[in-house]
Amino acid sequence: MTEKITIGDYTVTVLVDGYSHLPPSAYPGADFSRLPGLLREDGTYRIRIGAHLVQGPAGTFLVDAGAGELNMPFPAELAEANGLSNPPQHMASAGNLPAALAAAGVTPQDITGLFITHLHLDHIGWLMKDGAPYFPHATAYYGAEDWALLVDAAAEDDPARMLMHQANEAGILRAYEPGDHELLPGLSVLHVPGHTPGHVVIALESGGQKMWFTGDLIELPSQLTDRRIHFMTDVDRELAADARDRLFAQAKKEQIVIAAAHLTNPSFRRITDNDTWTDATTDVVTA
Ligand SMILES: [Zn+2]
């Protein structure tokens, strides 16, 4: 089933590249015994890896770019530390984005802009394929503050580092300018450091409707109200929690649709007056 939503003159479509199965320890501060229904039978929480396709008057874009072809075995020590007797084979597997794009009737050549929320591998994977840009006509925008930590300071063989070096050599990269500003008519960037130093939120506004692509600002639905829950790769947990408080208060007030990179069921959310989630496509209250 293809998930999509209309925002004014734009259509936004979820492109599934793959899934990651994460153990409870990936979410410090979360008590999964009080969050029924989240963990699967194998004891992991399944998140989507992918991208959002944005089609409208300003062009055809992606927000984030999946993980690329990836099969990461589930680490035995992580299974043991989490008491998982029958863990999934893979912690992350991806590679479906080309098929998802084709199913949406779009070719890689059609994409003219890639708006990357941050430089973790699961958001940049399809920038390059076999050493060449996978989207030959697209400029890839990224948060400059991520480069020192996630590229320069990463290990020589770190996949994200190698990929960003290739993308840089291919000349497809451009850093977002400092400060929150409009990128194209209706499309803006908000600098929201916390999960990573250069993390951004992409804002879409059309026909009086607003949507935010929040990247990894939120990793578990209950982080909407519980600021004790963090994520293993949050670079600055307090800054990330502060950013959630601030942005979700505004999103609630202005009824902005939230499209978080990794949240599903629903993929497009609104915040009610009672600080719960609704499905933005049906307005049904959800977990
Ligand atoms: Zn992510």
Between the CA of 227 and the centroid of ligand 1 the distance, in Å, is: 19
Between the CA of 85 and the centroid of ligand 1 the distance, in Å, is: 26
Between the CA of 91 and the centroid of ligand 1 the distance, in Å, is: 13
The domain containing residue 94 runs over which residues?
Answer: 4-286
What pLDDT score does 283 carry? 73
What pLDDT score does 1 carry? 74
For 213-240, the DSSP string reads EEETS-SSGGGGT-TT---TT-SSHHHH
Q: In CATH, what number is assigned to the domain containing residue 140? A: 3.60.15.10
Between the CA of 93 and the centroid of ligand 1 the distance, in Å, is: 13
Between the CA of 122 and the centroid of ligand 1 the distance, in Å, is: 5
Q: What is the pLDDT of residues 170-188, one digit of tens each?
A: 999 999 999 999 999 999 9
Count of the separate structural domains present in the chain: 1
Q: What is the mean pLDDT of residues 240-268?
A: 97
What pLDDT score does 109 carry? 98
What integer best gives the mean pLDDT of the chain?
A: 96
Helix (H), strand (E), coil (C) string for 45-58: EEEEEEEEEEEECC
Between the CA of 53 and the centroid of ligand 1 the distance, in Å, is: 16
Between the CA of 55 and the centroid of ligand 1 the distance, in Å, is: 22
Q: What is the pLDDT of residues 118-173, one digit of tens each?
A: 999 999 999 999 999 999 999 999 999 999 999 999 999 999 999 999 999 999 99
pTM > 0.85: yes
Between the CA of 218 and the centroid of ligand 1 the distance, in Å, is: 10
